[in-house]
């Protein structure tokens, strides 16, 4: 419910931002136009922040957070919110718990494992508004109940 509430707040503000008072890792995406492809476009956009992740040093950079949120091994809960303004501006808000940011380097290494090069198919379900099934790049962070996968581009 929290992600949906923030998505509604963004409609009233008219601009995308992260709730400064949330204790969740947060990804926000906005699009004007049709809802078609909204799930895929938002996840691919967040995925592209992988280019900011320092694989050699395994260090967290703020610009890589959308990617980190998607693949964080110990994420147990994901909340999704979607809102639409009267002028067809969509806001997608996804909350991740626990929040990956501000963790010691050892936790980063435990939760963002090396790229495996493996391909797999997974269903990524966003309640009530889209269901997507696509081949994905699988990072070795994939495990347990979490479907921490990245769409291939």
* Tens digits of residue pLDDT in 56-103: 888 888 899 999 999 888 888 889 999 999 999 999 999 998 887 667
Residue range 44-66: average pLDDT? 88
pLDDT at 102: 64
Say whether pLDDT at 147 is over 70: no
Ramachandran quadrant class, 42 (left: phi over 0; alpha: psi -120 to 50; beta: rest): alpha
**pLDDT tens digits for range 2-27:** 999 999 999 999 999 999 999 899 99
Burial of 55 (0-12, 13-18, 19+ CB in 10 A): exposed
């Amino acid at each position: 419910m929290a992600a949906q509430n923030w998505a509604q707040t963004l409609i009233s503000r008219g601009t995308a931002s992260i709730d400064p008072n949330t204790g969740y890792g947060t990804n926000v995406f906005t699009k004007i136009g049709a809802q078609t492809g909204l799930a895929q476009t938002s996840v691919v956009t967040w995925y592209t922040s992988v280019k900011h992740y320092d694989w050699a040093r395994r260090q967290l950079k703020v610009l890589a957070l959308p990617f980190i949120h998607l693949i964080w091994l110990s994420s147990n809960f994901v909340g999704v919110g979607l809102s639409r303004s009267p002028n067809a501006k969509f806001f997608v808000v996804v909350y991740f718990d626990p929040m990956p940011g501000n963790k010691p380097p050892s936790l980063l290494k435990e939760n963002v494992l090396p790229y495996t090069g493996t391909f797999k198919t997974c269903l990524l379900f966003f309640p009530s508004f889209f269901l997507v099934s696509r081949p994905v790049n699988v990072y070795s962070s994939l495990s347990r109940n979490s479907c921490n996968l990245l769409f291939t581009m």
